[in-house]
A and B are shown apart, each in its own frame.
Chain A
Amino acid sequence: MFTNKDAADVPEHGGHMQEAARRSLISVTLTAVMITANHLYVLGPKAFGLGAVLLVGPAALLWWFRNTRSSVAFAGYLFMNLWIVVGFGLIKGLWGITLPLYLGTGLAAVSAAYPKPMLGPYGFEASGILMFIGSLFVAYYAFQLLRAKRGVLVLPRGLARPSALLAAAGLVAAFVLVDRDRWAAPVGGVVKIGVIVPTGGPYAILGNSFLKAVQMAKDDLRGTKYQYQLVLVDIGTDESTARVAIERALRVDRVDAIVGGISRFGLLTKPLASAARIPQTCVCSVTSIGDGAYNFTNIPTPEAEALLWVREAERRGIRRISLLTRDYPSIQGHVAAVKAEATRVGLSVSYDYVFPDSVTDFRTRIAEARASNPDVYYVEAFSPQLEILGRQLSDAKIHNIASVVAPSISEHRELFEGTWYTDSNLRDLAFRTRFEEKYPGTRFATHMMPYAYDDFNMIVQAFERGQNPAVYLRNIATYDGTAGTLTKARGSGTFQSPPAVWVIRNGKPALTTNN
């Protein structure tokens, strides 16, 4: 393979050497620029420090070698070349970026056993590819430099190309092997399912009822092949403590799958679940969490809610809408979708008031809204502001109120008697009855609980059928859920479900008959 000669025995060819060194340094410089650009996405400004080391180090070592013929300098220069080629070119550029981008995407397109790769911004991916290509030039010119110096390590010309091709084929084969998600029976026959949902602070009602829904799903299991253990992950209510808790659940508790709720924490879990190669199902309205690889969302989208809301408004003869809504992202998500759909079908917004959480007196705004002659007052906020607004609307003798989801989680639904709204289509009403009997005092959140229950059961089905849970979820096209049939397009990470129109009747949510 390699022949070692004593460098001292062979005279160096000065002209060749100079030219080879020049080309080598140019390739190192250009590749170092690409490495710096790529690492800006990961390290931020610290990447310039890395870039400085990669630019100055080789140049200084080569200058030292040219002036002194020091073997230490030459070895140091080659070592830096090796670092660039192996560390940045092959491991990061090829294995970490180029192969997932091209081969990973291709494999995922032909088989659900392969995950869609997690891709970064285009600049990150492009600089990663150039980092790999640059490293090929670095390797080639380092080889030329060695040849010019003659006598250190010489790879015979006839072996260079086959060796490179063999190495490339080996890397591709290894990627195909490693990238595939395979079924592995749970250790000791126990499947650990991490439940990641906040249960304190503003999330207390939703989080606790989510948790109960998952517990009920577990209690409902009969005659399963494996045991199912819930690992309740105490994530608190802020992201830094949540990250530590999630990492611990993955590393120490070694959970096999995750069911979660609340988009803020679903977003946090997403890269961690992907890195651990376990599925996360999330009752999250931020649909971009669902990547279709390891992360899947399951809740009606704001667009689906808006479509039905506007259709119901048209059915009721509504032409003008007055909006009184809280400045909260998920609420404004609904509002934006409703406005877009209303505009599309020709309904008009007569009044639009978005308020912060500090507002407690809405009377002036209610009077202004009334003056705009709306056919309906669209109201959306959280408790206790929702109830304050509801009471002041009631005092103003305004009862033609509509919403999306909000009345169902109100602390005082009687304030919204007759209010219609869209929410999940709870086909199995007995599910809610059973839940309320099992957990008296726990609020049943219609837009979360059925999906939490279904998410748990989808994961159980995967294990019971002896399939890798991520692959199983990727393959699901329809699922007969407790809130209607869930559908998912091939390759998508979003389970779609149609919402329904509800009305508050006798202080309780009731499905309208026109669903």
Chain B
Amino acid sequence: MTRRMRTPTLWALLIAAMLASAYLIVAGNSPAMGSSETPAGMFH
């Protein structure tokens, strides 16, 4: 791979890795929605 090709490839891999790990973090951070998770009009 030429140097000219290597840099964009590395950038693409870095961005893909960042987006994939962000997906995992967001998915892991989302609270599990229980049966009572209706946001409006909740009494208690």
Contacts and interface: CB of A to CB of B under 8 A. Distances in A.
Contacts of B25: 101-102, 105, 119, 125
Nearest to B18: A129
B37 A287 contact: yes
Contacts of B2: none
B36 A330 contact: yes
A340 B22 contact: no
Interface in B1-44: 15, 18-19, 21-23, 25-27, 29-44
A448 interface: yes
Q: Is the interface of B mostly helix, strand, loop or mixed?
A: loop
B41 A337 contact: no
Contacts of B41: 264, 328-329
A264 B39 contact: yes
Contact of B44 (A102, A133, A261, A337): A261
Interface in A260-276: 261-264, 267
A138 B7 CA distance: 17
Given A287-B37, A301-B36, A328 B15 contact: no
A206 B21 contact: no
Residue from the set B25, B26, B27, B36 with the largest chain A CB neighbour count within 10 Å: B36
A302 interface: yes
Nearest to B23: A122
A302 B36 contact: yes
A211 to B, nearest CB: 14
A147 interface: no
B36 A291 contact: no
Given A122-B26, A263-B44, A285-B44, A337 B39 contact: no
A493 B31 CA distance: 10
A206 B36 contact: no
A76 interface: no
Given A101-B22, A301-B36, A330 B29 contact: no
A304 B41 CA distance: 21
Contacts of B22: 101-102, 122, 125-126, 129
Contact of A284 (B23, B29, B35, B44): B44
Contacts of B18: 129, 133
Contacts of A129: 18-19, 22
Contacts of B44: 206, 261-263, 283-285, 299, 330, 447-448
Interface in A186-225: 202-203, 206
Contact of B42 (A102, A133, A285, A290): A285
Task: Give chain A's interface residue range (CB within 8 Å of chain B).
Answer: 35 or more
A329 B36 contact: yes
A333 B35 contact: yes
Contacts of B30: 119
B31 A262 contact: no
Contacts of A320: none
Contact of B34 (A105, A202, A283, A301): A301
Nearest to A239: B40
Given A283-B44, A330-B36, A130 B23 contact: no
B39 A286 contact: yes
A125 B29 CA distance: 12
Contact of A286 (B26, B27, B29, B42): B42
A263 B36 CA distance: 10
Interface in A340-371: 340
A234 interface: no
A362 B43 CA distance: 23
Given A121-B26, A129-B18, A288 B37 contact: yes
A331 B35 CA distance: 10
A328 B35 contact: no
A312 interface: no
Given A284-B42, A328-B41, A333 B15 contact: no
Contacts of A52: none
Interface string A278-299: 0000011111101100000001
A375 interface: no
Contacts of A340: 35
Interface string A304-339: 000000000000000000000000111111101100
Given A101-B26, A202-B43, A328-B43, 10 more contacts: A102-B21, A102-B22, A262-B44, A263-B39, A286-B37, A288-B32, A302-B35, A303-B34, A330-B42, A332-B38
Interface of B: 15, 18-19, 21-23, 25-27, 29-44
Ordered nearest first, which 5 A-B pairs have the shortest CB separation? A333-B36, A263-B42, A329-B38, A288-B31, A336-B35
8 contacts: A101-B26, A133-B15, A267-B42, A286-B39, A287-B36, A329-B38, A329-B42, A337-B36
